[in-house]
Structure 1
Amino acid sequence: MAVIFHLDLDSFFVAVERILNPELIGKAVIVGGNPTGRGVVAACSYEARKYGLQSGMPIRQAYQLCPKGMYVHGHYEEYERYSDLVRQILSAHTPHLEQASIDEFYMDFSLPALTLFGLLNKSLEIKSQLQNELDLPCSIGIAPNKLLAKICSDFNKPNGMTIVVEGKEREFLETMPIKFMPGIGPVLQKDLTDKGIKFIGDICRMPVEFFTGRYGKVGLDLWKKAHGEGSTLIFGHPEQKSISKETTFQKDILSIEALEEVLLALVGRVSHKLRDDCLTASTITLKLRYSDFVTLSRSKTIAPTQDDFIIYNIARGLLRTAFKRRIGVRLIGIKLEKFNKPYFQDYLFEPESSKREKLFDAIGRIRLKHGYDAINIGASKNTPGAKGKISQEASS
């Protein structure tokens, strides 16, 4: 019998922010930036949700609903760091681990077979360890497949635990509202509700032909899910396709020098991530969105690199190619793709690129110990016209 755990870190971004700033504990916390600016809610605490807030909501709308909330910009490097720490803890419990997102994990505890009491104890052990060692609450769902395990973890949040044993799948899903079914968004939910389908059990009582005729493959998938069918396959590290970083400005930017300064910071972030993952990238893509929402992207493929110097100067050239309109820029972003493992070669005389590798390695060790912002790579102030041109100067 397959036994799948789904672990969901409760309000993960908010939980990390509260670790960094305990004064946020017990308050309505919204991660997403300036409440009077642009952008959306990345995450919000359960206290904030009482006011009708939810992830993905425009930040200005959130502020109208909850003006006394605590609005924070977020520390995404810290979220990644804590996510990695969670993964390390979970991997000690089972080698069969799949990270579905930054705050969701699947685990396979099918073998060796555990009793129901043993499964509950394992769940409590994991929850206690994450709480005691990292101060992170989580909810766990246990079921015969990944679909049901995910539904179970959502069923009793926050800090909950739900288990469905084999043979009880239909009974568990029978009276559950269709909104709890993964894959049913607002549009499909309204269409089903208009047809009198309000609960998952209602789907099971209807012939599969109705759903395939109305919704095609999506309908067949929906019908199977309603019957409790789901995958038990646990995948390890998914192959990373790209690394990207972008920022939306509070006010539109007209100066290319200002854009280059922001681009420099973005390149630093993605290049740091690239080296952390021990990868090189061949394709560099610049993204530019104007104030009228016209979005451009420019790409260039080069020899594999993980060097900020090379990546920035390519990105800077792409920016100068794309920035041709005389209106403000709302968003700028950078994306790295086509990854390879770095190739190291011995030289009789140390080339300039090797010196930079040592520099970046030293910077990486400092950031690992003290955080990303402990040291920054800046533009040279001594070179004429060098604003926005990356140099080998490091400032802390």
Structure 2
Amino acid sequence: MDPEQVHRKIIHLDMDAFYASVDQRDFPEYRGKAIAVGGSPDGRGVVATASYEARKFGVKSAMSSRKALQLCPHIIFTYPRFDVYRQVSYQIREIFLRYTDLIEPLSLDEAFLDVTIDKQGIGSAIDIAKAIKEAIQEELNLTVSAGVSVNKFVAKIASDMDKPNGLTFIGPSKIVKFMESLPVDKFFGVGKVTAKKMHELGLFTGLDLKKQREEDLVRWFGKTGHFFYRIVRGIDDRPVVPNRSSKSVGIEDTFGEDVEAFEELNTILQRLCKQLWTRIGKKEISGRTLTIKIKYADFVQLTRSITLENSFDSEDKIYATAHSLLSKVELLNKVRLLGVSISNFVEEADFPKEGIQLTLFEHRP
């Protein structure tokens, strides 16, 4: 890296077990206990967030309640309070705004901040991160982990290195060595499918990737190969984008009566995919990410997504992919809503998103 280069100052902040930590803060009887936000003692539903006491037993987000109970029989299930979590998220954002307006929220509990020029003239990204951590602790009685570096990719990885309540700085002079030693599984944006393919190719660390020619990486991983070639060299020019919106086109159906049979859900899904294809055709757009949304009778909501190297260019392709995702869902309860959407439009695809992701989103009865 050019020693004369003026580096950006990027902070990635990730709240620690956010939903569970808020519940433990608000209800003293939960403190120090293994709790899971979402799910239920009867084994139905899925876990949104687990406290660190529960994580010691292997309980994870998006795990079925049944599995969580097997791993941690004394776990306590709490009903999600998304209005409260959203309000706390606003309070956290207000703390961020004391230092910069360049805030890119990724979810209720994490965000990128660009503090290259900060409002208070502090100058040090590390000192700003410390000040934010102290403010969140003192004012909200919560903890957050921070990663500080010169680009988003490294800052994101750094924030996960010393959880909970950690602060990790990876400076310009250490990035190349850090990236070379980093296991490919830890690369932000590399999921199980790509990691498996990399291992099959004998690629286990950043250094292994760095030894490859760019054209070979592109041949193996498509356009994402360009990204791998750059990032393993510490090159990530993506800016922090304030008020970033998630653009998508979708269609969904809330049923008059809850649906339990997979066959019936699949028939509804086929109809939704047909309507979606018509809708994106009218808008003359194409996207690479397809997402199905399921809301259970108990109002727990989850999504499964998959991103392709090329866009979804036919109704058949949309339905076949959506059907594959639906077939992988463990139907833990009757379903009251089903939806399907297309996002990551071709012209805006600037970062690798891959594999199948399970995410629990906010829901209210």
- TM-score w.r.t. the length of structure 2 is 0.67
Equivalence map 1:218-297=2 (5 Å): 218-239=224-245, 285-288=252-255, 290-293=259-262, 294-295=264-265, 296=268
The 3 A distance-change label for structure 1 pair 88 and 104 is: same
Question: For the Cα contact (< 8 Å) 1:4–1:232, is it kept in 2?
Answer: no
Q: Which string of whole-angstrom CA distances, capped at 9 and with x for unpartnered residues, describes residues 109-146 of structure 1? A: 11259999833222111100001101110011111111
Q: Which runs of 5+ in 2 are unaligned?
A: 1-6, 276-332, 342-363
Q: Which has the higher contact order (CA 8 A, sep 6+)?
A: 2
Q: CA deviation at 1:165?
A: 1.6
Q: Which string of whole-angstrom CA distances, capped at 9 and with x for unpartnered residues, describes residues 182-222 of structure 1? A: 11111221222233322222211222222211111122223
Q: Secondary structure at the match of 1:7?
A: strand
Q: Which string of whole-angstrom CA distances, capped at 9 and with x for unpartnered residues, describes residues 213-268 of structure 1? A: 111112222332222222341222234668xxxxxxxxxxxxxxxxxxxxxxxxxx
Match among 52, 65, 83 for residue 46 of structure 1: 52
The corresponding residue for 2:145 is 139
Q: Which string of whole-angstrom CA distances, capped at 9 and with x for unpartnered residues, describes residues 67-124 of structure 1? A: 1112212211111111111111111211111111111111111125999983322211
Quick one: distance in 2 between partners of 1:223 and 1:40? 37
1:23 equivalent to 2:20? Answer no
Quick one: distance in 2 between partners of 1:285 and 1:209? 41
The corresponding residue for 1:390 is none
The corresponding residue for 1:342 is none
Question: For the Cα contact (< 8 Å) 2:104–2:240, is it kept in 1?
Answer: yes
Question: For the Cα contact (< 8 Å) 1:144–1:232, is it kept in 2?
Answer: no
Question: For the Cα contact (< 8 Å) 2:122–2:128, is it kept in 1?
Answer: no
The 3 A distance-change label for structure 1 pair 12 and 185 is: same
Quick one: distance in 2 between partners of 1:53 and 1:143? 31
Q: Secondary structure at the match of 1:142?
A: strand
Aligned identity (percent) is: 32
Structure showing greater Rg: 1
Quick one: distance in 1 between partners of 2:185 and 2:122? 29
Equivalence map 1:327-346=2 (5 Å): 330-333=334-337
1:101 equivalent to 2:70? Answer no
The 3 A distance-change label for structure 1 pair 231 and 16 is: farther
Quick one: distance in 2 between partners of 1:91 and 1:334? 37
Q: Secondary structure at the match of 1:136?
A: coil
Quick one: distance in 2 between partners of 1:130 and 1:116? 18
Q: CA deviation at 1:149?
A: 0.8
The 3 A distance-change label for structure 1 pair 193 and 284 is: closer
Quick one: distance in 2 between partners of 1:239 and 1:117? 29
Q: CA deviation at 1:168?
A: 2.3
Match among 141, 158, 163 for residue 157 of structure 1: 163
Quick one: distance in 1 between partners of 2:142 and 2:108? 13
The corresponding residue for 1:37 is 43
Quick one: distance in 1 between partners of 2:207 and 2:32? 37
Equivalent position amino acid for 1:287 in 2 = T
Q: Which consecutive aligned stretches of 4+ in structure 1 deviate over 6 angstroms post-superposition? A: 113-117
The corresponding residue for 2:296 is none
Q: CA deviation at 1:14?
A: 0.8
Q: Which string of whole-angstrom CA distances, capped at 9 and with x for unpartnered residues, describes residues 310-331 of structure 1? A: xxxxxxxxxxxxxxxxxxx822
The corresponding residue for 1:187 is 193
The 3 A distance-change label for structure 1 pair 168 and 186 is: same
The corresponding residue for 1:148 is 154
The corresponding residue for 2:300 is none
Q: Which string of whole-angstrom CA distances, capped at 9 and with x for unpartnered residues, describes residues 146-190 of structure 1? A: 111101101111111111222321112222222211111112212
- TM-score w.r.t. the length of structure 1 is 0.62
The corresponding residue for 1:315 is none
Q: Which runs of 5+ in 1 are unaligned?
A: 243-282, 300-328, 338-372, 377-396
Q: Secondary structure at the match of 1:212?
A: helix
Question: For the Cα contact (< 8 Å) 1:147–1:230, is it kept in 2?
Answer: yes
Quick one: distance in 2 between partners of 1:79 and 1:86? 10
